[in-house]
Each structure stands twice: as C-alpha cells, then as structure tokens.
Amino acid sequence: MPEIKKSGIFFFVVGPSGAGKDSLIDAAHAVLPSDKFVFAQRTITRPHGSPGEDHEACTEAEFQTRLSQNGFLIAWQAHGLHYGLSASLLEQMKQGRHVIANGSRAMVATLREKIPSLIVLEVSAPKNILEKRLAARGRETAEDVARRMLRTVVDYPEGQRVIRVMNDGTLEDGTERFINAIEQQLSS
C-alpha cells in the first residue's frame, strides 16, 4: 500500500523592511532538511544580481505573461516592483513538504483563501534597529528609509495563526528563534 503523505504547511514570512527576514530564511535553509522543506524563490521585476535576496529576475512583460498564464500562486506590488510566488509550490505541499516563503503582509488574506494550512511568521525588530539595518544595506536613500518606517500595515484576517519572532540581536539568536518557531508548529 502506498504511503499517504500529509499536506505540508505554508510558512509565510512577513515583517517590516530591515527586520532580517532574508537573513533568517537563508540561515534556516542551511539547517532544515531539504527533503522536508522548500524555500520559495520569489520572482521579482528586479535585474539579476541586484542587491538583496536571491530571486528569479524577470522583466515587467515576462511577469505579466506569467501572471496571465496562472504561473503564480500569488503576486503583488511593493516598492515599485512586482513580486510573485510560483504556483508549483502547491504541488510541493501536496507531496508533504513544508514551504517557507518571504512575502507581504498585505497578501495574507489572499493566500489564506488558497492554503488552509497557512501560518504567518512575523519577523520584527525595534524601530531603531530597523532604521540602522536599512541604512547599512545601502539600497535606499535616507528619504526612502524614512518612507519605509512610516508605512502602515493591514490587519491579519480574523483567526489567522500568526507566530511572532523578534530579531533584535545576533543572527544566531534570531535564527534559533525562527527555527524554534517553525519546529514548534510542526510538533503541535
């Protein structure tokens, strides 16, 4: 008799710019087993080799074509760019693998309609740390950093499971908290 696999959990990582989401996701990727976890690579209308996360680069036209062909599970705009997560992630979950994806808090309600096993991992840090990290990465002007700090966020849908991870210390401390949060959800 074939083994029946339980559907995986979708961990949607959100939080303000500078919270360290990419760093924590990269550190978890190095530790968590690849046969159980899929680390989603976002498609972004940003050139390949741009500073920041490792992403699938595409042009605006390529993005729109893929969007019209239902190639994305979800897609959104932020900071003048288009972002998308591949529709193929659903198949990975059906095979019992857990997905970890960097996303946008504004997309939680949309994603929840498609994935009942959605858990939001909200990564945060105090405002002064966020400002320092944004300035240090050198991708934004001082005005851009100030604008990001003023950004308001939408509420989560009622009943949405949200796990908060504070990333206000070393990368090692943040990574430990992040991985512990994931493992606790898998054992509950």
What count of other Cβ atoms lies within 10 Å of the Cβ of residue 7?
15
Q: What is the pLDDT of residue 53?
A: 64
| Residue 87 identity | A
Q: What is the pLDDT of residue 37?
A: 97
Q: What tokens were used for 58?
A: 């595409």
What count of other Cβ atoms lies within 10 Å of the Cβ of residue 88?
12
97 phi and psi angles, rounded to 5 deg: -85, 145
| Residue 79 identity | H
Three-state SS for 2-70 is CCCCCCCCEEEEECCCCCCHHHHHHHHHHHCCCCCEEECCCEECCCCCCCCCCCEECCHHHHHHHHHCC
Considering the four listed CATH numbers 3.40.50.2300, 3.40.50.740, 3.40.50.300, 3.40.50.720, the one that applies to the domain covering 10-40+94-187 is 3.40.50.300
| Residue 172 identity | E
Q: What is the pLDDT of residue 64?
A: 94
User: Residue 186: which H helix or E strand, with range?
Assistant: helix 171-187
pLDDT tens digits, one per residue of 71-110: 999 999 987 889 999 999 999 999 999 999 999 999 999 9
Best CA proximity match to 20, nearest among 137, 184, 146, 154: 137
Q: What is the pLDDT of residue 116?
A: 85
Query: DSSP 3-state assignment of 145?
Result: helix
Best CA proximity match to 177, nearest among 28, 65, 74, 57: 28
For 28, 45, 66, the CA distances from 61, given in Å and listed in that order, are 33, 9, 9
pLDDT tens digits, one per residue of 112-143: 999 989 999 999 999 888 888 877 776 677 77
pLDDT tens digits, one per residue of 17-58: 889 999 999 999 999 999 999 999 999 887 776 656 677 888
Global pTM value: 0.88
